[in-house]
Amino acid sequence: MTVEPLPQNLPGRLPGRLSGRLSGRLPVRQILCLLPLALVAVVAVRHRSVLVAGFGHLTSAKWPWLLAAAAATCLTWVAAAVTRQGALVQRLPRRRLLATQFAAGAANHLLPTGLGASAVNLRFMTVCGVPPARSSSALALYLLAESVARVGLLLALLVAFPDAVRFGALVPDGAVGPLLLAAGAVVCVAVTALLFVRRVRTVVSGFLRTALGEARSVHTRPARALALWGGSFSFPVCQAAGLAAVGQALGLPVPPLHMAVAYLAATVAVALVPTPGGIGSVEAALIVALVAAGGPAAVATAVVLAYRIITVWLPLLPGALTLGALVRLKVI
């Protein structure tokens, strides 16, 4: 009996998955689908003590207030989706946009602050056919509007409630000088690069022209401008409302609006700290801010841990699964 030799192009005739294995190619998309889950496991193991303590505090809380905090957290994804659409003239598919914001939240907690969500949204806009220059401009406009809204809300609340937070307790003794020195050094480096490095100056000027053009186009459309600024203000309001609801659930003796001031002050303070999702830095800043607002340290710690469980850890696994599904479906 004779055995016929295998055809030379056998891998090309086999199903795609088996052909890829025979050809020695890595299933890149499958790896990208599973990577968020692996990162969730790593982050959860590293912060297991925080998870145990946070869930312990949730068991003794008033559940109606916890449900209100969960509802406020869900509204943050809606606000983010509305703001993303408002920053771009081109219409994006609504359901996919909302799912992308949920997935971007998980990515943002697994990568240095802001990078995960920005990468997911840039990829989503690219798949939707938005040119790279316009998608980058929309991202910059989103970040600018969100920052202006957050700082603006903080200043407005400080004017209305000047005694809400004792800011002297937020900054350690002797830290003001080094902070100002570091900020001045960053500004000097940026100005020097713009003045003396031609390539940097060219890239920045081109980006600013595109961004300003996109901003003008957005603000000529009332619906887009309303979505941009309405979503930008709603996002930190929902976040602060979630913290206030958890504070009520655990009996923190601080007025809700003072808790909102503490939350905004803490998040503005840690905005430049490059930790994944602010994990670690946000908790510390929130605890200090709530204590500065007049809350007992033990109760403030319990509130912050429970709040981060609701806003970060509970959505993390489903968000990672959504991220993997969006990658698999080629939505991002």
For residue 21, being part of any structural domain is answered with no
- Please report whether residue 8 resides in a domain: no
Residue 157 domain-assigned?
yes
Q: Does the residue 163 lie in any domain?
A: yes
Q: What whole-number percentage of the chain has pLDDT above 90?
A: 32
Given a cut of 70, whether residue 61 has pLDDT beyond it is yes
> How far is it, in rounded angstroms, from Cα 272 to Cα 14?
50
In a domain? residue 143: yes
Decide: helix, strand or coil at residue 112: strand
pLDDT of residue 134: 86
The confidence score (pLDDT) of residue 221 equals 92
Element of type H or E holding 83: helix 63-86
pLDDT of 14 above 50: no
Residue 294's pLDDT band, with cuts at 50, 70 and 90, is confident
Residue 82: predicted pLDDT = 96
Query: Does any domain span residue 188?
Result: no
Domain assignment of residue 300, given as a range:
28-172+224-328
Q: Is residue 186 part of a domain?
A: no
Other Cβ atoms within 10 Å of 184 Cβ, number: 10
| 92, 227 contact by CB (below 8 A) | no
Q: Tell me what pLDDT residue 22 has.
A: 42
pLDDT band at 19 (very low <50, low <70, confident <90, very high): very low
Selection from 95, 139, 94, 119 nearest residue 36 by Cα:
119
The total of other beta-carbon atoms located within 10 Å of residue 231's CB is 24
The tens digit of pLDDT for each residue in 92-105 reads 999 999 999 999 98
- CA dist., res. 267 & res. 212, Å (int): 27
The reply to whether the predicted model has a pTM over 0.85 is no
Distance of alpha carbon 167 from alpha carbon 184, whole angstroms: 21
pLDDT digits (tens, 9 = 90+) for 243-286: 999 999 998 999 999 999 999 988 887 765 555 555 667 778 88
Mean pLDDT estimate for the chain: 79
3-class state of residue 120 by DSSP: helix
Indicate the number of domains in the chain: 1
% of the chain exceeding 70 in pLDDT: 72
